[in-house]
């Protein structure tokens, strides 16, 4: 018998090599590379067709110039308006500080005093003890004769790098000569020193002067009024806080007792039953008829837009009217029927 050859043919070897190459390419990052290439091509297509609204390089450059011009104008406008807002906010800072000092702080302390009187039965003595030892940094020689802290040495070195140091062992630097400032800080300092800004700004100095005067009046008058108000409120609340709290407790207990009596007597159940009955009556006798009337009105409007159905509608209306009032028509009642 002839022997069967188990070796693959040349074509089978070639197909196997192609298959193995494709599998290796796909599992070793080939798909990732293809995906990146497709993404780049898609990004380029989106960029050329949508971002600059043209695939023509000259037209795209013109569109880019226009877009950048509008963006620059918008950014400059935003910067000018932001500078105006910052200047107005700087003028309003004293009013904020006065409100925090004469309104918020007394309100917090009054609330803490009332809560302490009501729940603790004594005045509020504060969170920290009367004497708190200072544990910060004092540059110079320590009281015990030891050397200064490392912080002071670092501060002295920093002051020395800035320029002149007022005195040895001091952490306050004098008029430095190598101080680096940001662009915004340099512009503000230049505007404060000469009164003129390096960049164009909106002429709002009259508005700033008016805001400054208004804030000054508000701080002066408002602080006095707030001090008097919180003094009166603090005196009244500290004297009557416990009494008011006891009255509120009595009222709450009385209301709770009345509710318990209603539940125990069955009156609450009767009221709930009456409310549910009234709700059902309103639902079935008012809400549903109104809903059906609205639906009929909508259908009438739809039929009104269809002239071909007007004849049938008139005949139906005539028959219904004859059914309701048979004495006005000659037809016998048995011939009437609804639509």
Q: What DSSP element (H or E) covers 171?
A: none
Which residues contact residue 119 at a Cβ distance below 8 angstroms, ignoring those fewer than 6 apart? Answer: none
In angstroms, the CA 49 to CA 276 distance is: 65
Across 15-24, 99-108, 258-267, the highest mean pLDDT is recorded for: 99-108
- The pLDDT of residue 2: 46
Judged by DSSP in three states, 189 sits in helix
Place of tokens 């400059």: 76
Taking each helix axis as running N to C, give the angle between helix 205-265 and helix 105-119, from 0 to 180 degrees, rounded to the nearest 10.
20
- The pLDDT of residue 252: 93
- The pLDDT of residue 255: 92
Q: Residue 165 forms beta bridges with which residues? A: 173
Q: pTM to 2 decimals?
A: 0.41
pLDDT digits (tens, 9 = 90+) for 115-159: 888 888 888 777 776 676 665 555 555 556 555 555 555 555 655
pLDDT digits (tens, 9 = 90+) for 147-159: 555 555 555 565 5
| Nearest C-alpha neighbor of 219 from the set 98, 103, 92 | 98
Average of per-residue pLDDT across 70-74: 88
316: pLDDT confidence band, cut at 50, 70 and 90?
A: confident
- The pLDDT of residue 134: 60
Show me where the domains of the chain are located. Answer: 10-72, 73-126+137-177+205-259, 267-305, 306-339
- The pLDDT of residue 175: 44
pLDDT of 219 above 70: yes
Number of other residues whose CB lies within 10 A of the CB of residue 102: 19
Q: Is 163 left (phi over 0), alpha (psi -120 to 50) or beta?
A: left
Which tops the pLDDT comparison, 328 or 231?
231
pLDDT of 229 above 90: yes
Which residues contact residue 140 at a Cβ distance below 8 angstroms, ignoring those fewer than 6 apart? Answer: 148, 152, 169, 170
Write the burial class of residue 149 (CB in 10 Å: 0-12 exposed, 13-18 middle, 19+ buried): middle
Radius of gyration of the chain (CA): 44
């Amino acid at each position: 018998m002839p022997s069967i050859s188990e070796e693959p043919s040349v074509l089978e070897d070639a197909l196997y090599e192609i298959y193995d190459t494709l599998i290796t390419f796909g599992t070793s990052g080939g798909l990732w590379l293809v995906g990146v290439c497709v993404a780049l091509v898609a990004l380029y297509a989106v960029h050329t067709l949508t971002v600059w609204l043209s695939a023509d390089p000259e037209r795209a450059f013109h569109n880019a110039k226009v877009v950048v011009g509008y963006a620059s104008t918008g950014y400059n406008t935003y910067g000018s308006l932001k500078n105006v807002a910052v200047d107005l906010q700087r003028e309003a800072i004293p009013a904020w500080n006065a409100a925090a000092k004469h309104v918020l702080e007394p309100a917090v302390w009054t609330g803490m005093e009332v809560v302490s009187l009501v729940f603790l039965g004594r005045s509020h003595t504060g969170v920290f003890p009367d004497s708190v030892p200072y544990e910060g940094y004092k540059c110079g020689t320590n009281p015990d004769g030891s050397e200064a802290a490392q912080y002071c040495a670092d501060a002295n070195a920093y002051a020395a790098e800035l320029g002149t140091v007022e005195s040895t062992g001091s952490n306050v630097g004098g008029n430095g000569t190598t101080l680096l400032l940001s662009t915004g800080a340099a512009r503000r300092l230049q505007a404060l020193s000469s009164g003129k800004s390096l960049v164009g700004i909106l002429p709002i100095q009259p508005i700033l002067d008016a805001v400054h005067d208004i804030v000054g009046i508000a701080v002066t008058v408002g602080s006095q009024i707030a001090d008097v108000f919180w003094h009166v409120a603090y005196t009244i609340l500290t004297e009557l806080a416990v009494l008011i709290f006891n009255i509120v407790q009595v009222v709450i207990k009385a209301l709770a007792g009345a509710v318990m009596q209603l539940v125990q007597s069955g009156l609450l159940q009767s009221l709930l039953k009456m409310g549910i009955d009234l709700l059902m009556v309103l639902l079935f006798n008012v809400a549903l008829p109104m809903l059906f009337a609205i639906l009929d009105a909508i259908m009438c409007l739809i039929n009104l837009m269809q002239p071909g159905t007007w004849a049938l509608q008139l005949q139906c209306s005539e028959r219904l009217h004859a059914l309701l009032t048979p004495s006005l028509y000659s037809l016998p009642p048995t011939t009437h029927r609804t639509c």
